[in-house]
Amino acid sequence: MKKIFTPFEIVSKNTRWFIILFWILLIVGFWVVSSMIGDTHLFPTPQQVLTGFTELYNEGLVVHTASSLFLCLKAILIAIIISLIFAYLSTIPLIKPIANTLSKLRYLPLTGITFYLAIMISDARVMQVWVLVVFMSTYLTTSLLSMVSAIPQEEFDHARSLQCNRWEVLWEVVIKGRIDHVIEVIRQNLAIVWMMLVTVESILVAAGGLGFLIKNSDKFMNHGRIIALQIVILFVGLSIDFILSYLRKAFFRYSKI
Amino acid sequence: MSYNTENTLLYVENLSVAYGDKVVLKDVNFVEKDVIREDKVTGQVIAFVGRSGRGKSTLFRALTGLVKPTSGKILIADVASKTENDAKQVLEGDVGFVDQKYTLFRNKTVVQALEFALRNKNLSKEEKSTKIKNYLAEWGLEKVKNQYPSELSGGQRQRTAIIEQIFCSGHYVVLDEPFSGLDVGNIQDVKNAFNLMSASHEFNTIIYSTHDIELAAELADSIYVIGYPTIDGKRADFGTIVKHIDMKERGLAWKDFGLDHIEIVKEIKAAMLSS
């Protein structure tokens, strides 16, 4: 028992499960109790959340989730292509300043980006995609640039000693040799992207999506629905994270990141 | 032991390397020739020793064409030329390079790495496959041929890295501190790898650096000490060759480590300490 309170102590698998179960029960217990005591409640009761789930399901939760996922996939594909081009070409002295500048643009506020995109794009759905693309590209480029600069000099020397010309070095060491890292970069940036996606969907209301549902629930102060939606968003996000991590390990046996 | 020397295999003249204003190496000169022994194929094993920061790694990067000399020239035997004893300026890829970490392509298995190393060779697919098979068997890598570098032991990685360089560059391999951090078994593996390489072709030339002077004296037939030279009573701050010991001339090459080798070790240590 003392072990679980001692820093750096290694505990058995069963103890680990016991600790996790303990915290889950504590949180659920706190939720149940805090939603029942007093006049004003910060959280809705589990019953309200369950009702929220049922309502949302009947209103097409699955379709809205799929819509958000599709938007996320579309934006991430475009953003990763743009970021990869800049990150890979950053090895060329002429292109390096452009890639670095793109990375620095992450300090630009979203509102400013939205303003300029609104001038150019009229369709709300297209607008959502491009707001996300611009926003994500800056973060992805930053991570990808640090991935490229973290490649040890020995790996470049090794390729050069095997008679690779500079383009082959780029192909073998940076592009082919780091595909698993690219997946990891996407996975790590996904949390920001997923969070932004819901925000973008709720700001620029279009055909639907989880952000649209939150906005609607928020309007009517429906706490049960809001928490139910938060749980759905969290689990969808965690599932994508898990899938990407699984894909990396399954397809790239050598990947030990 | 009787021996002769024939073709010049490595010719370094007035080599200097500077990074910006900082001169790291200056006036490096040495020549290594093909050593011929009766009834035995003998490659060349050349050791470079010296204290840290004296320019050994820079010299190796220059010898492998990875860094351009500021002045001077490095010539190696042009084995592709029809003219006998023809030489050529060293270029990237002409001399194999195995670094201290035995770097390999992280996304290629042993077989894939060796196939890649042979990609530019004028051999048929079957010939390449046979060559790879033979080397895998001879160097004890058969069982791990489909494994990635992250799944190999240090010794297996190193052997793969050496074969890769032999396949690609031909006769020259430079190894930067191949014995660093190895246990007794791994050291024996490297020694065996040296013997295998040395015994497989007359022109095969192994150039390595080490901080283990005993291993330099035991394995090399030519030892160079890199250090800061003393000029007009002052110690310069660039590296150069301060001592050369030809173990062949002294009758100590290709012999088991003995008392005479200990004397050489003392001599080398003295040269290192004064430079």
Closest residue in chain A to residue B161, using alpha carbons only: A158
* Partner-chain residue, chosen from A163, A172, A254, that has the shortest CB–CB distance to B93: A163
Does B106 lie at the interface with A, CB-CB under 8 angstroms? yes
Q: A157 vs B103: CB contact, 8 Å cut-off?
A: yes
Range of the domain at B8: 4-273
Q: How far from the centroid of its chain's Cα atoms is residue B273's Cα?
A: 24
pLDDT, residue A195, reads: 81
pLDDT, residue A207, reads: 64
Q: Calculate what percentage of chain A has a pLDDT beyond 70.
A: 95
Q: B99 vs A177: CB contact, 8 Å cut-off?
A: no
Q: A176 vs B107: CB contact, 8 Å cut-off?
A: yes
Closest Cα partner for A228 from A103, A108, A49, A65? Answer: A49
pLDDT, residue B240, reads: 95
Q: Which range among A9-23, B102-116, B191-205 shows the weakest confidence by mean pLDDT?
A: B191-205
A42 vs A4, more confident? A4
Closest residue in chain B to residue A169, using alpha carbons only: B105
Q: Which range among A135-149, B74-88, B219-233 shows the weakest confidence by mean pLDDT?
A: B74-88
Contacts of A173 in chain B (CB under 8 A): 105
pLDDT, residue A171, reads: 96
Contacts of B95 in chain A (CB under 8 A): 161
What CATH number corresponds to the domain at position B137?
3.40.50.300
Q: Which range among A75-79, A163-167, B79-83 shows the weakest confidence by mean pLDDT?
A: B79-83
pLDDT, residue A257, reads: 67
Q: B99 vs A162: CB contact, 8 Å cut-off?
A: no
Q: A177 vs B106: CB contact, 8 Å cut-off?
A: yes
Contacts of A155 in chain B (CB under 8 A): 103, 106
**Mind listing the pLDDT tens digit for each residue in B1-23?**
688 888 889 999 999 999 988 99
Q: A161 vs B106: CB contact, 8 Å cut-off?
A: no
What is the Rg, in whole angstroms, of the alpha carbon atoms belonging to chain A? 23
Q: Residue B94 phi/psi, 5° resolution?
A: -75, -35
Complex-level ipTM: 0.85
Does B93 lie at the interface with A, CB-CB under 8 angstroms? yes
pTM higher than 0.80 for the full model?
yes
Q: Which long-range contacts (CB under 8 A, 24 or more apart) does A215-224 make?
A: A217/A52, A222/A52, A223/A41, A223/A43, A223/A44, A223/A48, A223/A52, A224/A44, A224/A45, A224/A48, A224/A49, A224/A50, A224/A51, A224/A52
A87 vs A33, more confident? A87
Closest Cα partner for B47 from B170, B177, B155? Answer: B177
At residue B24, what is the residue type?
Answer: V
Closest residue in chain B to residue A178, using alpha carbons only: B107
Q: Residue B113 half-sphere exposure, CB side, CA atoms within 13 Å?
A: 33
Contacts of A177 in chain B (CB under 8 A): 105-107
Q: B99 vs A179: CB contact, 8 Å cut-off?
A: no
At residue A185, what is the residue type?
Answer: V
pLDDT, residue A206, reads: 62
Closest residue in chain B to residue A256, using alpha carbons only: B150
pLDDT, residue B193, reads: 83
Whether B115 has a pLDDT exceeding 80, the answer reads: yes
3-state secondary structure at position B173: strand
Does B92 lie at the interface with A, CB-CB under 8 angstroms? yes
The domain tally of chain B equals 1
pLDDT, residue B213, reads: 93
Does B148 lie at the interface with A, CB-CB under 8 angstroms? yes
CA distance linking residue B165 with residue B171, whole number of Å: 9
- Range B184-219 burial, b when 16+ CB lie within 10 A, else e: eebeebbeebbebbbeeebbbbbbbbbebbebbbbb
pLDDT, residue B29, reads: 95
Does B212 lie at the interface with A, CB-CB under 8 angstroms? no
**Mind listing the pLDDT tens digit for each residue in A183-221?**
999 998 888 888 888 778 777 666 678 888 887 776 667
Whether B189 has a pLDDT exceeding 90, the answer reads: no
pLDDT, residue A197, reads: 80
Chain B contact probe: residue of A147, A151, A153, A162 with most B CBs at under 10 A: A162
* Partner-chain residue, chosen from A154, A161, A164, that has the shortest CB–CB distance to B96: A161
Q: Calculate what percentage of chain A has a pLDDT beyond 90.
A: 40
Q: How far is CA B153 from CA A119, A136, B106, B134, B201, in A?
A: 59, 40, 14, 21, 27
Q: Which range among A137-141, A151-155, B180-184 shows the weakest confidence by mean pLDDT?
A: B180-184
Closest residue in chain B to residue A165, using alpha carbons only: B92
pLDDT, residue B273, reads: 92
Distance from CA of B82 to the nearest CA of A (A): 22
**Mind listing the pLDDT tens digit for each residue in B32-69?**
998 888 878 889 999 999 999 899 999 999 999 999 99
Q: How is residue B220 written in tokens? A: 């090399």
pLDDT, residue A107, reads: 84
Phi/psi zone of residue B44: left (φ > 0), alpha (ψ -120 to 50 degrees), beta? Answer: beta
pLDDT, residue A220, reads: 67
pLDDT, residue B75, reads: 94
* Partner-chain residue, chosen from A154, A176, A180, that has the shortest CB–CB distance to B103: A154
Whether B179 has a pLDDT exceeding 80, the answer reads: yes
pLDDT, residue B222, reads: 94
| Average pLDDT over every residue of B137-152 | 92
Question: Most distant CA pair in chain A: distance in Å?
Answer: 76
B229, B68 Cβ separation under 8 angstroms: no
Q: A154 vs B151: CB contact, 8 Å cut-off?
A: no
pLDDT, residue A166, reads: 93
Q: Identify the band that residue A121 occupies on the pLDDT scale cut at 50, 70 and 90.
A: confident
Q: B105 vs A252: CB contact, 8 Å cut-off?
A: no
Sequence-separated (6 or more) residues with CB below 8 Å from residue A194: A72, A233, A236, A237, A240
| Average pLDDT over every residue of A80-100 | 95
pLDDT, residue B72, reads: 94
